[in-house]
Amino acid sequence: MATIYDFTVKTREGKDLPLSDLKGKVLLIVNTATGCGFTPQYEGLEKLYETYHDQGFEILDFPCNQFGSQAPGTIEEIHNFCQLKYDTQFDQLEKIEVNGDQADPLYVFLKTEQPDDPKPTGMKNRVAMTAISKMPGVSKEKGFIKWNFTKFLVDRDGNIVHRFGPTDQPELIEAEVKKLI
């Protein structure tokens, strides 16, 4: 049976990063985009990173252009945008696909382990996710990533303990991160 530590991802420089190198850390894995209505979540993600990084917390940021072409540009352009606009200290990894035939194997695994987005809370979030679900190319298939900023929280033992939807703000995730730190 596969675990998260069986996967290797690519850094933005194109080097292999075996996830086994991150054993013992709490991970937040997120597919991101720089031109999305949810892009301001980078601010909250950076705050989480700054608060908990020294306690063994890492963010794995995978830019993805599959949703409305909202992550255009090269990985270097995306990285520069994140640093300039949100002063991110966590790094972006290689740009990937999260759904379909070209989906990164890590995301195939994540979607198998945590196939459902939680129901959005609050009227604004429910309306946003309803609108997203009606957009072209958004799959109703179980497990599929619905949009940018879907997040997976992984404990220190490599267990995927929670899937957060695109509307789930980093401030909500903080309580779950605290439990694992």
36 is catalytic: yes
| C-alpha span between 125 and 172 (Å, rounded) | 13
Segments of the chain assigned E as strands: 8-10, 16-18, 26-32, 57-63, 151-154, 160-164
| C-alpha span between 160 and 60 (Å, rounded) | 14
Instruction: Show the DSSP H helices in 99-180 as ranges.
Output: 105-113, 123-133, 170-180
For residue 8, CA distances in Å to 12, 21, 80, 101 come to: 13, 9, 24, 18
- Is the Cβ–Cβ distance between 109 and 4 less than 8 Å? yes
Name residue, tokens 């990084």: 53
| C-alpha span between 142 and 115 (Å, rounded) | 6
Which is the catalytic residue, given 36, 48, 75, 153? Answer: 36
Annotated catalytic residues are 36
